[in-house]
């Protein structure tokens, strides 16, 4: 999804990010959303757009495997990514000390001078891995370092991507973001979902009946990953390499691809499930028990009561709304 030809929507996200990047008194924004909602795709597409625009020098940096590393190593690896974009001369690992002084006093000013006119745009993916409940070597040192650095650095902008709501982060991490704007990356608008569904129509490999497009929307509800997964299963079931004409996808073909979609996405579904807060998991399980029907809040509470959940705390009452927004 980082290829512009396969990227859809998110104009509202890009618009808000650019407002922050160009604002003289703002230097950071947090993008958050559930797992597999397309946050990394947004960040990679942002990197491409910024590089093409020439106003900023974007640097994508994935923190996924950095939690156990010392601050000096994380800053050195970040510096390596920066010099690959700015074209600076090689850097010496020995200069990157455990306090980060060399990085922000010597390295960053030189990098900013070598960057585009707007400065550096640092795009941090999976930033909340440093906010683990387990002791994170990088997190313990990085958050206070980052707070101080963000307060004084010039011509450096920050875009952070996290897989949790900002309010679910630790107090230490929240204090880093207390004055930072946030934007949720959520489900596709219907028009964007339909553009994704119809991608195979435009490349000539499938023809989509309107009822089939409607059926995909009904199943996936604009979730980018689920829409893509379902469409992939449909394509594999329907496409015929020996046919001289593109096969037509009907509503029945969509229903027939559901089992394959569930099988192909089993690991991803488990990962999405494990990322839900406890109250939302309880409510999701209750909704699954209700089957393919629309239920009211009162009916949901009754299902929970029958299942042995006697105390409906405020978190459980708010969980359906949270799931809808999330």
211: left (phi over 0), alpha (psi -120 to 50) or beta: alpha
At residue 79, the pLDDT reads: 97
CA-CA distance, 224 to 186, in Å (whole number)? 9
pLDDT score recorded for residue 2: 42
Instruction: Determine contact, residues 3/235, Cβ cutoff 8 Å.
Output: no
| Alpha-carbon dihedral sign for residues 81, 82, 88, 89 | negative
Token pair recorded at residue 233: 């299963």
- 116 and 54 in contact (C-beta within 8 Å)? yes
Q: Where are the domains of the chain?
A: 4-184, 190-270, 277-325
In words, the CATH class of domain 4-184 is alpha beta
Domain 190-270 belongs to what topology?
Helicase, Ruva Protein; domain 3 (1.10.8)
Q: Which residues of the chain have pLDDT under 50?
A: 1-4
């Amino acid at each position: 999804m980082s290829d512009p030809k396969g990227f859809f929507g998110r104009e509202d996200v890009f618009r808000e990010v650019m407002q922050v990047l160009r604002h003289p008194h703002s230097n950071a924004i947090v993008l958050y959303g559930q797992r597999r909602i397309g946050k990394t795709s947004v960040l990679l597409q942002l990197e491409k757009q910024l590089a093409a625009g020439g106003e900023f020098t974007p640097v994508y940096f994935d923190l996924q495997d950095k939690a156990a590393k010392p601050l000096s190593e994380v800053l050195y690896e970040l510096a390596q990514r920066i010099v690959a974009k700015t074209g600076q001369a090689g850097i010496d690992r020995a200069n990157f000390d455990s306090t980060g002084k060399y990085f922000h006093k010597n390295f960053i000013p030189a990098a900013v001078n070598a960057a585009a006119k707007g400065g550096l745009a640092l795009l941090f993916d999976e930033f909340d891995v440093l906010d683990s409940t387990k002791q994170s070597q990088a997190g313990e040192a990085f958050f206070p370092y980052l707070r101080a650095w963000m307060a004084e650095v010039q011509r450096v902008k920050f875009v952070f991507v996290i897989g949790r709501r900002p309010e679910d982060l630790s107090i230490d991490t929240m204090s880093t973001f207390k004055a930072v704007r946030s934007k949720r990356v959520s489900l596709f608008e219907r028009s964007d979902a339909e553009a994704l569904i119809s991608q195979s129509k435009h490349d000539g490999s499938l023809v989509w009946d309107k009822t089939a497009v409607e059926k995909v929307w009904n199943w996936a509800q604009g979730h980018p990953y689920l829409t893509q997964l379902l469409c992939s299963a449909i394509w594999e079931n329907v496409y015929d390499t020996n046919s001289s004409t593109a096969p037509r996808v009907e509503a029945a073909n969509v229903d027939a691809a559901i089992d394959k979609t569930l099988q192909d996405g089993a690991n991803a579904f488990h990962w999405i499930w494990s990322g839900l807060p406890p109250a939302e998991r309880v409510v999701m399980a209750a909704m699954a028990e209700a089957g393919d029907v629309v239920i009211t809040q009162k009916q949901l509470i009754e299902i929970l009561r029958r299942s042995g959940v006697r105390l409906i705390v405020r978190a459980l009452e708010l969980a359906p709304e949270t799931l809808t927004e999330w």
